[in-house]
Amino acid sequence: MAKKETSTDQLITTIIKGIEEVKGNDIDILDLRELENTVCDYFVICNGTSNTQVAAIVNSIQKTVSKEHKEKPWHIEGQNNSEWVLMDYVNIVVHVFQAHIREYYDIESLWGDAKITTIASSY
């Protein structure tokens, strides 16, 4: 039996669910499909209040995506200090920041031409 493909929209929904389960803050989705020379189709960006919460968000995303879609990130970077963790799901790259690091790098401005969707917190 062939493995059922997960759509990008389904994966984004599941990633957001994983973020919200551990109260990740300020969730933005950047749609990069209309831009030239991008490495993926979407960025999902959020932040936590501490390295402990950033690590919890990353773990929650991994568990939720693995449970619902049987998928693992292709690559993860930044788990050593949990200030900025990047999770690469090929078409979707998730950036989990500590708030002050997110403010410093301000990657939303770097990708200013992208369509940004802000997800209202459900808590």
Residue 73 inside a domain? The answer is yes
Tokens of 119: 């997800």
- Could you give the CA distance from residue 70 to residue 64 in angstroms, rounded to a whole number? 9
Tell me whether residue 45 is in a domain.
yes
Dihedral angle computed from the Cα positions of residues 116, 68, 91 and 98, in that order, rounded to the nearest 10 degrees: 50
Residue 15 in any domain: the answer is no
C-alpha closest to that of 27 among 49, 13, 44: 44
- Is 66 domain-assigned? yes
Residue 51 lies in a domain: yes
Q: 40 in a domain, yes or no?
A: yes
- Closest alpha carbon to 15 in 76, 79, 117, 89: 89
pLDDT digits (tens, 9 = 90+) for 60-114: 999 999 999 999 999 999 999 999 999 999 999 999 999 999 999 999 999 989 9
Q: What distance in Å separates the CA atoms of residue 47 and residue 10, rounded to the nearest whole number?
A: 21
User: Does pLDDT of 33 surpass 80?
Assistant: yes
Q: Which domain holds residue 37?
A: 23-117
**CATH number of residue 35's parent domain:** 3.30.460.10
38 inside domain:
yes
Confidence of residue 2 (pLDDT cuts 50, 70, 90): very low
Q: How many domains does the chain have?
A: 1
pTM score of the predicted model: 0.92
List, for residues 10-25, the tens digit of each pLDDT value: 999 999 999 999 999 9
In a domain, 14, yes or no: no
